[in-house]
Structure 1
């Protein structure tokens, strides 16, 4: 609390002092401008005989009037002048540009009696132009002091520096105007006090700069340094106020003050240089290097060309004196850096530019006088009509060539100060221009660190990328130079959690836009975890690369560049940092471009994958798909459409729908365009280019963008020709099933009258046994009744559901019964049946009904195959081997096309789609069902066929008893095969 109170008091005191100094400086400038102090230009010395001329400057009013050194002034304007005060009174009374009559006594060589003469002196205003330059220095001191005070209030020696700047402002801005009233005496004594304190403050800073000096030593040294200045100020007060000092005494006191000022400046420069040689701290060494250079740059010209001539009273041209006094402006500029402690923020740059402008100004003055002299000669001799306007034109032209001269000198100094770095910077500028050409982010980051290291000679460089997206982690190391693998591993682990690498709104950094860590391992401004990472990095500069964020409208850090010291263990200069800050923008844009390019490549890859996936779906789907543009031209045509329509994609694309599809489809399509939404066309018959007719369901829907803007139509063509045929076959099978049920019912009803007819016929046979002719007729009726009954019972047995229980079955009996069942159909078709049955045939295990169904299907197919034959003949044969019963059914029909042999067992495959007279339309199920039954019985079926010669089916069944040894899985496998075939259809 006490420290805070003291700080507030100090702040108020400094504010009041600053305000007072500004007011006094303004008043002094105003009074000096309103008052001209006349002078004769002579340095007079008071003696017993009068005022003796110690020094008469060349081209002064007295010198032009003929006054020489050692002349004695006894009267001015007929008023005696035993003291300097009487002369000054007469000078002020005469005024500037007035004529004053000086009574001079001059010694004549060779004569003992001095000569007395009068000189007419035209008084001139005192030349105070040097005061304006000194006020400029005062303004620089005040501005730098305020900048340091407001920018780094808590920095070491900030208050000391500001007091020094304020004192220097009083020293250079407050000058006596010569009126010597109350306010003018304030200016005078303020200047005296400031002159006593300012050199002591400067040397005090030089001696105590940096760390390592004890508090006791600091106190002793501070006290000793201020004593000479206080003594000089006290002498001034005593000499003027007590003893009414003569002009000689005042002049000597002024010489002491100037010598004191120069001596302290020279000692400070030496102290800075010696400490620079002994310092082992990189930052302090860099500071002291520029402090010593800046001090020497100010002190040497000031001492050589101003102080020494003033003390020795040597004649020096006035422009030289003024230029030497103005070199003091470099002192506050270099001194400012020592307080700000901010990597030589401006000292080195200002130092070089100060020299540049000084040399440029000198060159400009030379050129100016040369051009003016040349133009004056031309104006007087050749162009007398130009008069004053020619001179004005020359002045303007001279001013215009100032900038090229300054630029040329700046380039030369850059090469002198930076040597190879100048070429490196030019290379780096070219590199910054080509940054955007690199699109690979990893290669770009590595290129950045390598080029920065080569250009700035920095030992350690790293690039950290800012997190992208809400779910991303913190900054990530993208590339590094000068780091060991172990350091990189630790950085990769800890960098995402580093707070000092986050240059965003939530992690505010210094206003200068980057971080400087003098000692990374002991950075007090960082938290513990960040301090550990900073120590691992061992870097001193962290510079954000910012880009504009179009969402927020503010700049955001897209990357952070970390840099260490140079290979010579020096810190970077302010010019390096200024250049890096400019380059950071280009690097940020290049990194953003690389990230956008990577994102674009990812999206393109995803888009291509998605496009390929969608195209694969469209190409693989068993539905024809094509799209039309707004002009009804085909834009896409999938593989199914190529197969279905027998038209390649290349031939279809770009053609109008009217050129490809028949008029019936085009008319339906045009009708659909008048309706909104998806339009469905059911069972549309399309005439294919190959000549066949296909049946299809067609869906027509608008093709919309994300914004629901129609860009065309999409058409789906589902070929249902096979499905329609299957439906027809299923309908026919349903009809056959119904007819079978009806036939069973009819057969059941027919059995009753047949039984009655048979009974009555047998009764009549008994009663007419004596009549052979009638008995013969009744026997035939009875036989035919039995035969009809057998046919009806066969139909009933075939229509009944048979059980899956296997029993011994005689295949000869199955064949005979089936032939008897089909006898009428064979007779109608004029088919002769030849039975070549084995006399003794072993039984097989099976279902008699299912086996009879197989034989019935094969015989009916054989009959249909011989419909065009003139001599249809069917052969049925059986024989037995040791293990199997063999059965063959042969016909002399048309045979089977070899292209169809592999499909005859497929469900619903049939060649009887358009049956001839006497044939029935096939369902495609007979052979498929027969194949499944044979497999179920553990048998085999094969076919031999030749087109035009006939077909033979060979069936093979295990003999009864051996069948029981067959694994039960055979029956299951047979059923699975049958199911698979039906499912395949």
Structure 2
């Protein structure tokens, strides 16, 4: 880098590279410079090779060159200096330089030309050109720093996950850090020069222009949220628009667009969890209430049954009145069975596993759901034999599983068939089968309702996962059911085809199989 010597400095020598074949003329040049107070270090060359070596080996402040030398001239020397890439003052000095030659050397890149018989301009010319060289060097360095700064901030902006942009009054992008946009007609390339309508649906672009106009009118920032259907689905965005002021007011509006889809999803999941917790607490309260109501109903039911027995004793067995009394007793027994099953289902105390007839658990569950199914015009197709084996289980928990599966089937049928339909049937089958040489029992709950998609099947046993509205499900039913059956050493599986059918299979080892596999624990 060339230095800037405003005045001669004895501690800093002036380094001159002389392109001169005459040693006498070189001494004359040096004497002129030294008379101005400079300490001079120099080197004299008179061939292209020597000039090239001198430029490559040492730093110089200026080059002073004769125009005409044997086998070499100033224009050739100038070309070598320019080719070296060094920004050094290059001054032509000659004994006979015509105006046309002088103009030619200046056009070729020389900074000044002088006559040897008038060297009074030599030092001022050197000083002037050194200052200008210093200014050019400073400008280049500033340019390099500016480019580095621009590259750094451009890299930061372009790597930002947020969309940073500038819009003019016409809603046209003046700048953007995104090279593509996930929706609209602009899918690749710079967004600058494109209007809002090129990347947003018409209605959304119109709303956006409303926010843009408000910033230009009021000079105040605007924050808002909006949704866009992109290639990956629905995305939520939070945008901030703010004014950018110029000499004549607001010239542009800057914008920051953040994708808040994950935040919105998290908020929705939080609301779901809260609703599910409230629903779970509500169900717990209903269970407690059901147990209390069952106890309260049990007493008058026993009273009705007792009075029916008294009436029967006073009537002739074949009388019409005795038939009515017998019907009262039959219906009262049915109420008592329902109350008993409701009380068993609602009770909260821990129940120990026991050998239970599978048919009795199924009958108890059916007694609780028949009225609901009849109300929803759902036919029940029960295929349960009388010779079903015993299973080792907590009957209350197994009843809970069957209730849950039948309730889900009911919901699917009601969704597909809101009114009466010949296909609105819930099928419940119970059978035995062999597994690894041992007897197992299988209960199948089948419906021909809406069916379940493969994506939902993958997650349906996860806690709190539900496809129902918040006020109709907790997302815990299938998860709890799966845990209950697994704890009993069984399996709960699903087979479904969307729009056709759904089958849930509850498979449990029979009591004999359970006793054979766990003899020490069998009751």
User: TM-score normalized by structure 1?
Assistant: 0.33
Q: Describe the shift of the 1:844–1:660 C-alpha distance in structure 2 as closer, same or farther (beyond 3 A).
A: same
Compute the displacement of 1:655 (Å).
Answer: 1.8
Compute the displacement of 1:752 (Å).
Answer: 2.1
What is the aligned partner in structure 1 of residue 167 from structure 2? 629
C-alpha distance in 2 between matches for 1:923 and 1:680: 35
User: Tell me, what secondary structure is at the counterpart of 1:826?
Assistant: helix
Compute the displacement of 1:423 (Å).
Answer: 5.2
Q: Describe the shift of the 1:803–1:435 C-alpha distance in structure 2 as closer, same or farther (beyond 3 A).
A: farther
The one of 254, 261, 264 aligned to 1:712: 254
Which consecutive residues of structure 1, in runs of 5 or more, have no partner in the other structure? Answer: 1-150, 152-341, 358-402, 404-416, 439-580, 619-624, 915-919, 966-985
CA contact (8 A) 1:702 1:712 kept: yes
CA contact (8 A) 2:426 2:447 kept: yes
CA contact (8 A) 1:672 1:700 kept: no
C-alpha distance in 1 between matches for 2:361 and 2:268: 37
C-alpha distance in 2 between matches for 1:943 and 1:640: 44
Quick check: 1:817 aligned with 2:364?
yes
What is the aligned partner in structure 1 of residue 384 from structure 2? 836
C-alpha distance in 1 between matches for 2:215 and 2:516: 68
Of Structure 1 and Structure 2, the greater helix share is in 1
Compute the displacement of 1:870 (Å).
Answer: 0.9
C-alpha distance in 2 between matches for 1:418 and 1:639: 57
CA contact (8 A) 2:378 2:410 kept: no
Q: Describe the shift of the 1:646–1:810 C-alpha distance in structure 2 as closer, same or farther (beyond 3 A).
A: farther
CA contact (8 A) 1:851 1:933 kept: yes
What is the aligned partner in structure 1 of residue 24 from structure 2? 353
What is the aligned partner in structure 1 of residue 204 from structure 2? 661
RMSD: 5.6
C-alpha distance in 1 between matches for 2:147 and 2:219: 39
CA contact (8 A) 1:905 1:928 kept: yes
Compute the displacement of 1:722 (Å).
Answer: 8.7
Quick check: 1:879 aligned with 2:432?
yes
Compute the displacement of 1:849 (Å).
Answer: 4.2
Compute the displacement of 1:749 (Å).
Answer: 3.2
Q: Equivalences for 1:534-933 in 2 at 5 Å?
A: 606-607=152-153, 609-614=155-160, 617-618=161-162, 627-631=165-169, 632-634=171-173, 636=176, 642=182, 648=187, 654-656=194-196, 659=202, 661=204, 667=210, 679-681=222-224, 698-702=238-242, 711-716=253-258, 718-719=260-261, 720=264, 727=271, 731=275, 734=278, 737-738=281-282, 741-742=285-286, 744-745=288-289, 748-749=292-293, 751-766=295-310, 768-771=312-315, 772=317, 773-801=320-348, 803=350, 811-828=358-375, 829-837=377-385, 839-844=387-392, 847-867=394-414, 868=417, 869-871=421-423, 872-881=425-434, 882=438, 884-897=440-453, 900-905=456-461, 925-933=476-484
CA contact (8 A) 1:888 1:955 kept: yes
The one of 940, 947, 960 aligned to 2:514: 960
CA contact (8 A) 1:879 1:886 kept: yes
User: TM-score normalized by structure 2?
Assistant: 0.56
Compute the displacement of 1:663 (Å).
Answer: 5.0
Q: Deviations over 1:408-467 (max 9, x none)?
A: xxxxxxxxx9787675137646555444479xxxxxxxxxxxxxxxxxxxxxxxxxxxxx
User: Tell me, what secondary structure is at the counterpart of 2:451?
Assistant: coil
User: Tell me, what secondary structure is at the counterpart of 1:893?
Assistant: coil
C-alpha distance in 2 between matches for 1:639 and 1:805: 66
Of Structure 1 and Structure 2, the greater strand share is in 2
User: Tell me, what secondary structure is at the counterpart of 2:182?
Assistant: helix
Q: Describe the shift of the 1:940–1:756 C-alpha distance in structure 2 as closer, same or farther (beyond 3 A).
A: closer
Quick check: 1:425 aligned with 2:51?
yes
User: Tell me, what secondary structure is at the counterpart of 2:429?
Assistant: strand
C-alpha distance in 2 between matches for 1:681 and 1:870: 52
Q: Describe the shift of the 1:879–1:726 C-alpha distance in structure 2 as closer, same or farther (beyond 3 A).
A: farther
C-alpha distance in 2 between matches for 1:646 and 1:960: 66
Compute the displacement of 1:598 (Å).
Answer: 8.1
Q: Deviations over 1:38-74 (max 9, x none)?
A: xxxxxxxxxxxxxxxxxxxxxxxxxxxxxxxxxxxxx
CA contact (8 A) 1:730 1:923 kept: no
C-alpha distance in 2 between matches for 1:596 and 1:805: 85
C-alpha distance in 2 between matches for 1:940 and 1:652: 56
Compute the displacement of 1:819 (Å).
Answer: 1.6
Q: Equivalences for 1:221-260 in 2 at 5 Å?
A: none
Q: Describe the shift of the 1:759–1:674 C-alpha distance in structure 2 as closer, same or farther (beyond 3 A).
A: farther
Compute the displacement of 1:874 (Å).
Answer: 1.0
User: Tell me, what secondary structure is at the counterpart of 1:661?
Assistant: helix
Q: Describe the shift of the 1:735–1:938 C-alpha distance in structure 2 as closer, same or farther (beyond 3 A).
A: same
Compute the displacement of 1:857 (Å).
Answer: 2.1
Q: Equivalences for 1:462-541 in 2 at 5 Å?
A: none
Q: Describe the shift of the 1:648–1:655 C-alpha distance in structure 2 as closer, same or farther (beyond 3 A).
A: same
Q: Describe the shift of the 1:837–1:435 C-alpha distance in structure 2 as closer, same or farther (beyond 3 A).
A: farther
The one of 943, 964, 972 aligned to 2:494: 943
CA contact (8 A) 1:850 1:933 kept: yes
Q: Describe the shift of the 1:960–1:740 C-alpha distance in structure 2 as closer, same or farther (beyond 3 A).
A: same
Which consecutive residues of structure 2, in runs of 5 or more, have no partner in the other structure? Answer: 1-9, 30-42, 56-62, 64-77, 88-126
CA contact (8 A) 1:802 1:850 kept: no
User: Tell me, what secondary structure is at the counterpart of 2:503?
Assistant: strand
Compute the displacement of 1:769 (Å).
Answer: 0.4
C-alpha distance in 2 between matches for 1:949 and 1:893: 7
C-alpha distance in 1 between matches for 2:403 and 2:389: 20
Q: Deviations over 1:623-669 (max 9, x none)?
A: xx5745142335559799737x8984669872236845165665566
What is the aligned partner in structure 1 of residue 114 from structure 2? none
- Residues paired across the two proteins, number: 401
CA contact (8 A) 1:818 1:852 kept: yes
User: Tell me, what secondary structure is at the counterpart of 1:700?
Assistant: strand
C-alpha distance in 2 between matches for 1:633 and 1:805: 73
Q: Deviations over 1:736-762 (max 9, x none)?
A: 753662464256235424412422431
Q: Of the two structures, which has the highest relative contact order with CA contacts closer than 8 Å and spacing of 6 or more? A: 2
Compute the displacement of 1:822 (Å).
Answer: 0.6
C-alpha distance in 1 between matches for 2:236 and 2:452: 30
Q: Deviations over 1:791-812 (max 9, x none)?
A: 3443444445465976666554
CA contact (8 A) 1:765 1:775 kept: no
C-alpha distance in 2 between matches for 1:836 and 1:642: 57
Q: Describe the shift of the 1:716–1:844 C-alpha distance in structure 2 as closer, same or farther (beyond 3 A).
A: same
Q: Deviations over 1:367-407 (max 9, x none)?
A: xxxxxxxxxxxxxxxxxxxxxxxxxxxxxxxxxxxx9xxxx
